[in-house]
Amino acid sequence: MDSGWLLAIILLPVAGSILIAFIPGLSERLIRYIAALFTLASLILAVVVFAGFDRSIGGYQYELKASWIQAINANFHLGVDGLSLPLVLLTAFLGFMVVLISWKIHERVREYFAWLLLLETSILGVFCSLDLLLFFIFWEIEVIPMYFLISIWGTGRREYSSIKYVLYTLFGSAFMLAGILSLYFTTGSLSMVDISEGGLAMVQSIMPASIIFWLLIIGFAVKLPVFPLHTWLPDAHTDAPTAGSVMLAGALIKMGGYGMIRVCVSIFPNVAQDFAPLLLTLAVISVLYGAALTLRQTDLKRMIAYSSVSHMGFVLLGIFALGEVSLTGAGLQMVSHGLLTGLLFAMAGLTMHNVEERDLRKLGGLARQMPVIAVVFSIAGLGSLGLPLTSGFAAEFITFSGAFSSTVVGGVQVYTLLAVLGVVLAAGYILWMLQRTFYGPVLEQYNGVKDADNLEKVYMFSFVILILLVGIYPAILTNVIKLGISPIASLIGG
């Protein structure tokens, strides 16, 4: 009875996408309503699954397993555990929000919503797959809708950014495919559950596990992104349409962090421990270098994009500190960053749409002209720099304290202290961004620009409520995330 839920959550958006694409003669209005309806249905089901998730037993729940290709032992296997469930919920939430955010799109509406909904399905599929082949298929499918979203509805150098995005992703997933094939060959199985439960001895006997580990992690590192594989991100985020940026920053790059925990750490705990210092170094570089680059941006969206590089460095730090608390913190940071940066991009998009200007040097004093947007933008910004009561604080606090106290990796305290500097830098660039945009002298030329309308208030307050909810009561998520993390952490002894 439980088994159909995840399938429904995944398939509802793509069903909407197919309806939108192939029913002739739909009006723009109707297309928007169909998109909203199907993504909302998916979100409601995700909430039901989140509520119904049995917190007393943990493990994989809502499983669905059907044989697919016997010759290569591939199954259609879905399921969620404490690690993936919050990300599914996040994706379903963002999937509905981006439909609302896209309400004012008027160019090639039919194609736009078809691609947007297909994108949501593929991300949901990644988080729900328990079979490596299925996981990889969803991982790859995501590239195509994102390519079209950026290249048709984007701004700036959109064609360059979209092809750069595609090639980086394919480059990473090429290594990942080789890694998955090696894993399949050495264990004879494609099931993530079976492999992480007991195939490791076989892995090491035929082929060095570290080779497979690195093949896999390159794919995830491109997506997360990790320095030096991050350069696609600022271009893609900046030139994507608002909804594309929200999906990219909110849900899509989380696939990288999720994959690292689910595949790399839980299948190769020992290898992860061996290479943790190297990966932690990359994490610190991502945090500091990303923050330094953010400080000198003058474009509103580009600034938020670079801040993602820095914030995803925290996730990498939490993962490869390898402690139970730090891994939980990384999980929470992914959700929190999804909400905060999703909202930041939505607000930036709204500001740009209403003011028709995105250069920070030319903006200023907008708090008078668009007070609602200014307040919400500020909440998102403050959350992003880790102000208490917001989800950003909870996530960063758990990550840093978990990493600092981790006993598994030697010298992790040094890395943590260096990474905490990233928070200081974040305070710098975010306050500067808010100040340049909304405060200071009121500029004449922006008199009469519109503030948020009712629909926009609906989605921005939805974000704000969730950000505060997670910030005030983080246990609502950490209780669940911990269920997924503790079996993985116990492999390492953290």
Partner 1 sequence: MNFELLAPEISLVATAVAVILLDLFVQRKGLLAIVSIIGLAVSAGFTIVMYGEPSRTIFNNTLAVDNFALFFKLLFLGITALVILASVDYVSKFERFRGEYHALLVLSALGMLLMATATELITIYVSLELASISLYILAGFLKNPKSSEASMKYLLLGATASAVLLYGMALVFGTTGTTQLGEIAQRVQTLGVQGVIDNPALILGIVLLIAGFGFKIAAVPFQMWVPDVYEGAPTPITAYLSVASKAAGFAIILRIFSTAFGLPNWLSLDWGVIFAVLAAIGMTVGNLSALPQTNIKRMFGYSSIAQAGYLMVGLAAMGMASAGATIGQSTILFFLLSYAVANMGAFIAIIAITNKIDSDLIQDFSGIAKRSPLMALGLTVCLVSLIGMPPAAGFMAKFYIFGGAVQNGLLWLVIIAVLNSVISAFYYLRVVKVMWLGEPASTEKVPSSAALRLALTLTSLGVLGLFIFADPIIKAAEAAAKMFGS
**Contact indicator for 251, 123 with CB cutoff of 8 Å:** yes
- Selected from 15, 37, 40, 163, the binder of partner 1 by CB under 8 A is 163
CA separation for the pair 197, 481 (Å, rounded): 19
Under the criterion CB under 8 A, does residue 72 sit at the interface with partner 1? yes
Three-state DSSP class for residue 396: helix
Task: Count residues near partner 1 (CB under 8 A).
Answer: 33
- Selected from 170, 375, 389, 469, the binder of partner 1 by CB under 8 A is 170
Tell me, what amino acid is at 398?
Answer: I
- Listing DSSP states for 31-74 in one string gives HHHHHHHHHHHHHHHHHHHHHHS-TTT-S-EEEEEEEEEGGGTE
Under the criterion CB under 8 A, does residue 152 sit at the interface with partner 1? yes
Under the criterion CB under 8 A, does residue 214 sit at the interface with partner 1? no
Q: Give per-residue burial for 17-36: e unless 16+ CB within 10 Å, then b.
A: bebbbeeeebeeeebbebbb
CA separation for the pair 128, 124 (Å, rounded): 6
Name the residue nearer to partner 1 (CB basis): 125 or 318: 125
Under the criterion CB under 8 A, does residue 140 sit at the interface with partner 1? yes
- Selected from 51, 57, 71, 201, the binder of partner 1 by CB under 8 A is 71
- Selected from 184, 214, 397, 439, the binder of partner 1 by CB under 8 A is 184
Binding segment (CB under 8 A) for partner 1, from list 91-99, 136-144, 309-317, 338-346:
136-144
Cα–Cα distances in angstroms (integers) from residue 93 to residues 65, 130, 250, 320, in the given order: 26, 22, 10, 28
Does a cis peptide bond (omega within 30 degrees of 0) precede residue 13?
Answer: no
Name the residue nearer to partner 1 (CB basis): 151 or 333: 151
Under the criterion CB under 8 A, does residue 18 sit at the interface with partner 1? no
Binding segment (CB under 8 A) for partner 1, from list 68-76, 191-199, 245-253, 344-352:
68-76
Under the criterion CB under 8 A, does residue 137 sit at the interface with partner 1? yes
The token pair at 209 is 């596990």
Name the residue nearer to partner 1 (CB basis): 184 or 439: 184
- Selected from 5, 175, 232, 258, the binder of partner 1 by CB under 8 A is 175
Under the criterion CB under 8 A, does residue 75 sit at the interface with partner 1? no
Under the criterion CB under 8 A, does residue 60 sit at the interface with partner 1? no
Cα–Cα distances in angstroms (integers) from residue 300 to residues 43, 328, 451, in the given order: 30, 31, 18
Closest distance of CB 238 from partner 1, Å: 19
Three-state DSSP class for residue 364: coil
CA separation for the pair 255, 262 (Å, rounded): 10
Three-state DSSP class for residue 307: helix
Chain centroid offset of residue 182 CA: 27
Interface positions, 378-417, toward partner 1 (CB under 8 A)? none
Under the criterion CB under 8 A, does residue 103 sit at the interface with partner 1? no
Binding segment (CB under 8 A) for partner 1, from list 27-35, 159-167, 391-399, 455-463:
159-167
Closest distance of CB 244 from partner 1, Å: 15
What is the contact surface with partner 1 in residues (CB under 8 A)? 68-72, 133, 136-137, 140-141, 143-144, 147-148, 151-152, 159, 163, 166-167, 170-171, 174-175, 177-178, 181-182, 184-185, 207, 211, 215
